[in-house]
Structure 1
Amino acid sequence: MVADHGSHAYPAQDFRVIAFPADLSELFPRPTGLVESGWPPDQVAYLAEYLRQLGCKTLVVENHYVDRDYIADVSLFYSRSLRAYPNYCQRWHFFSETFDQQTWRRLVTGPSVKARTKATEFLQRQYLGFSAVRPLPGSPIGRTVLPTLPRISPHGHVRDFSGTREYAVHIAGFELTVEGLAFQQQDQGVSACATAALWSCLHRIARTEGLAIPTPSEITVSASRYLLVGGRSLPSDGLTIEQICEATRAVGLSPLFIRSVSPEHDRAQLLGYITSGFPPLLAIRSLATDEGHAVCAMGVKLGEIQPRTDPQLHFRDAATAVQGVYIHDDRLGPYAAADLYGLTKNKVVTTAFRIRWPGKADEFEHVELLGMLVPVPTKLRLTVARMRHPLGSEIADAVGQRFAEYDGLVTFNCRFDLGTRYQKVAHQFGLSKSGLYQLLCQTPLSRFIGLIEISIPDGPLFDVVLDATETRANPAVLCWVRRCTLPPASEAALAIMAKQLGGAWIS
């Protein structure tokens, strides 16, 4: 018997440059047989529309790409199917300028370091991210990272995408970067909606903590190790909140579950955690079908901070500016807009979202928020809720009462930050040299700090810095840090307040 070495040949690799098509679905051949959800998938249509908004002009197709997430899914699930699924994907790279195959070849084969540097700069300026296109007939959209839309929308509201991160991409010897958050379509084999949503959430915080980001198959296995509601883990029909918590703990993070209470409460939680870089998983329920679903929220839509509604209060709440969130919805696509509104149900006002589905006859889907699960570092024990009340609101109210010129203008906001990152930008605070030295060299900070930010429309007044390893806000005050907008005449009174509540006044 002679061994047939030809059957184990290495794959062929090539890069193909094409103009971005008017109809992206033409690049996705319709699978044979019965297609349950119609063709092309909604995710393909959404991806095409989003890329058009980004100004995509050129597509570079990398025809052989081994994607870590997909090959893990193949190993666990698809390799045991009768159909011979390939263990590799295509990877599509998107660019905002027009160029052809000849230009690409010239860029790749630049003969000098200078030519290579210019080629890298040319590609980086126009790079719009990538998408791993899986050989799965019904769910082709794999790991996809695209940049967000501009910070200021055409309607004037602010898009804050603090739940994103930078990704390094290697293509034909070039290293390019893109700022975004990974998205992928659920395949209903290894991953359902909750798996895909949690996978996106973990891409942000796991990297900050130096933890390995689990693949969808690893998330599903971890979630179903001790609790199998449906009797089997694969194919995946979805995860319960308890299973999502178990999968979060398996990564090395702590799951913080927050039940939806009211629009006011939920706005504050969403603003606090998303702007801290902790994208929450949102558990939602369709108002039309009553079906449950899970999405990842990595951005907030901000309008004007609303004036106080209670005349007895002397401050404003930054959370009143939240008009909605931006979500990764695996049924739709990345950065989908979801406007927040109050829904009266059984005489109780609950939180609801209006999710926009571009191109649909019924353009908006209405869903109710059930709760949110936030994966946080294990040593982050302080919560946004404990920072806000009573400490944050009482400080803001006291400042509004004590200084008549600030009455009704004082705004408070609560979030977390890395202590090292806070120190890194401290030179912008307008501190004296002795104050800057005190903050940087004489004040111990926890890895993550809680921040109660007190500001007025002209700018920040001061920050109250909290030890995030504590469970209560009041005994956790580390220091009060003067900011550049605070008039010198106000410092003495605030220093007294700082002494009463704990923590040194740094100016």
Structure 2
Amino acid sequence: MKVYSLDREQKDLGHSRQAQYLFNYVRDLKAKTVILEEQYFDKDYVVDYSKFYARSFTTHERFTKRLHFFSHSFSQKEFREVLENNNMQLSHIVRESYLGFVVVKPLVDARGNPLIGRTILKPYSPCTEQDSCNFVEGEYSASLYGIPLHVKSLPFQVQDIAVGACSTVALWVSLHPLYDLFGVPMQSPAEITERSASFPTEYRSFPSSGLTLEQMIVYIRSTGLDIESIDIESKIESEIGERIVPDVIRAYIKAGLPIIATVELEKMKNTYCHAVVISGYRCDQTGVIKELYVHDDQIGPYNPVVSDEGFIEWKNRCVLKYDRKLVEKLLIPVYPKIRLTFGRIYEVYLRERKGSLSKEFSTELYLTQVGAYKEFLRNHFIQDKVKILTTSLPRFLWIIWFHLNGTPVIDDVYDGTSVFPKRLLTVRFHDK
């Protein structure tokens, strides 16, 4: 165990692009203290180790290092006081100032830098009073020498080309919220690559050359889920070209569903395929998205993305400089009982946007579950409140939401389990 200030933490993280990003990220989170667990048994790494590294001629360590970050300053002596005497005041400070952790694998990349493993860090909040942020996140726990720690986040890690490339990592990131929502089993990157390889290609599974789009879809369906695939490239020149990406992101992020984006990277007239996970967004009071947050294994978690082209072409503070970054497809893993596809409800939404109400109010489309929606309604003033709350509704709902600077006015509620759009009710909000 070592306790030290953030200033010397770069040594343990290494000097890879992702390590530099993470160092700046935790600094932006106002991290002041780091605790190093020198021998940490990380489940994901151990599975990958057993499937690949255990059978290598070169000896690899089984234990990782784990770095914990805190926004409060305390010394090693003070932390020992927490462990030895259960100092309640200091223990409270440790728990309340927890920002998350980074696992460092006992492996190196092509440049000799340590590989960043499972990383769970608190999302930073760039929002002001005029903005709001929405993230795909869950509650994660860590036990630090018997001290229970908690943080809301979405896990991240860097690709280990031996067992999985960017597409594998994108699937791995997506599994975490899907586990919470639908009970999808958790798997390590090596297990994801192995299962995806049931769809044959000309390339080797290990070391990984990356997954094809078909293999990614095969993997998602193998978990018992279905896939909503939205072809952005084909809609660029259409009337909805500059709206489609923000509309999809709002619709599914609010439901807590991860969105995998396949991106074409262009550099010196060469193109490369890349996969990332859209993990959140920031919008203004009218619902206009100003910034996306992306888990990109080439950069780091919650990487900010802006755009002048309706988020079809991305601009971010990427260390790797590309001439263009174009979104090709958006893949959303969905529960099979969500039978009303985005395409069908989106047609209804576009018609309603052209109606008279949309001239007075902002309009958004989003997916939700009945329990969460009724809890939302219970905390607002609506007409026929008891009748609506006691009305039987399906588990999944599509909502077309009319609002004035974030204040709800009208909700049109559609059956998310129906094949074709079926409006179930209209909810009208009012002042107290």
Instruction: Give TM-score, length-normalised by structure 2.
Output: 0.91
SS at match of 1:182: coil
Distance in 2 between residues matched to 1:466 and 1:160, nearest whole Å: 25
Q: Counterparts in 2 of 1:69-468, with a 5 A limit?
A: 69-111=44-86, 115-116=87-88, 118-138=89-109, 139-152=114-127, 158=131, 160-230=133-203, 232-260=204-232, 261=235, 262-288=241-267, 289-303=270-284, 305=286, 318=287, 321-342=288-309, 351-357=312-318, 366-390=324-348, 392-400=349-357, 408-431=359-382, 435-441=384-390, 443-457=391-405, 459-468=407-416
Give the count of matched residue pairs: 419
Q: Quickly say closer, same or farther: Cα 1:157–1:181, change in 2 above 3 A.
A: farther
Contact 1:61 1:91 in 2 (8 A): yes
Contact 1:163 1:279 in 2 (8 A): yes
Deviations 1:330-373 (A, max 9, x none): 01111111112329xxxxxx921112126x7x5x7630111111
Contact 1:255 1:374 in 2 (8 A): yes
Comparing 144-153 with 174-183, greater Cα deviation is found at 144-153
* 1:477 and 2:423 matched: yes
Distance in 1 between residues matched to 2:55 and 2:282, nearest whole Å: 44
Q: Quickly say closer, same or farther: Cα 1:28–1:477, change in 2 above 3 A.
A: closer
Tell me how large the CA RMSD over aligned residues is.
Answer: 2.3
Contact 1:190 1:235 in 2 (8 A): yes
Q: What is the deviation of 1:161?
A: 3.1
Runs of 4+ in 1 over 3 A off after TM superposition: 156-159, 393-399
Distance in 2 between residues matched to 1:226 and 1:397, nearest whole Å: 43
Q: Quickly say closer, same or farther: Cα 1:122–1:88, change in 2 above 3 A.
A: same
Between 1 and 2, higher relative CO (CA 8 Å, sep ≥ 6) is seen in 2
Deviations 1:286-318 (A, max 9, x none): 12231111111011232464xxxxxxxxxxxx4
Q: Which has the larger radius of gyration?
A: 1
Q: Quickly say closer, same or farther: Cα 1:206–1:327, change in 2 above 3 A.
A: same
Q: Counterparts in 2 of 1:15-94, with a 5 A limit?
A: 15-21=1-7, 24-28=9-13, 40-94=15-69
Q: What is the deviation of 1:281?
A: 0.7
> 2:238 matched to which residue of 1?
none
Q: What is the deviation of 1:393?
A: 3.7
Deviations 1:425-480 (A, max 9, x none): 32222136xx3332232x1222221111111237211212221111222xx22222
> 1:5 matched to which residue of 2?
none
Contact 1:384 1:414 in 2 (8 A): no
Q: What is the deviation of 1:199?
A: 1.0
Q: What is the deviation of 1:483?
A: 1.7
Contact 1:357 1:365 in 2 (8 A): no
Q: Which structure 1 residue ranges, 5 or more long, are not aligned?
A: 1-14, 30-39, 306-317, 344-349, 401-406, 487-507
Comparing 120-129 with 174-183, greater Cα deviation is found at 120-129
Contact 1:65 1:90 in 2 (8 A): yes
Contact 1:419 1:448 in 2 (8 A): yes
Instruction: Give TM-score, length-normalised by structure 1.
Output: 0.78
Deviations 1:387-424 (A, max 9, x none): 2322x344454443xxxxxx722221111112111122
Q: Which structure 2 residue ranges, 5 or more long, are not aligned?
A: 236-240
Q: Quickly say closer, same or farther: Cα 1:444–1:149, change in 2 above 3 A.
A: same
Contact 1:263 1:341 in 2 (8 A): no
Q: Which one-letter code corresponds to 2:49 in the other structure?
A: V
Q: Quickly say closer, same or farther: Cα 1:191–1:21, change in 2 above 3 A.
A: same
SS at match of 1:92: strand
Distance in 2 between residues matched to 1:382 and 1:18, nearest whole Å: 53
Q: What is the deviation of 1:194?
A: 0.4
SS at match of 2:82: helix
Contact 1:280 1:297 in 2 (8 A): yes
SS at match of 2:247: helix
Distance in 2 between residues matched to 1:419 and 1:229, nearest whole Å: 45
Distance in 1 between residues matched to 2:195 and 2:417, nearest whole Å: 27
Q: What is the deviation of 1:277?
A: 1.3
Q: Percent identity?
A: 28
Q: What is the deviation of 1:89?
A: 0.9
Distance in 2 between residues matched to 1:267 and 1:301, nearest whole Å: 11
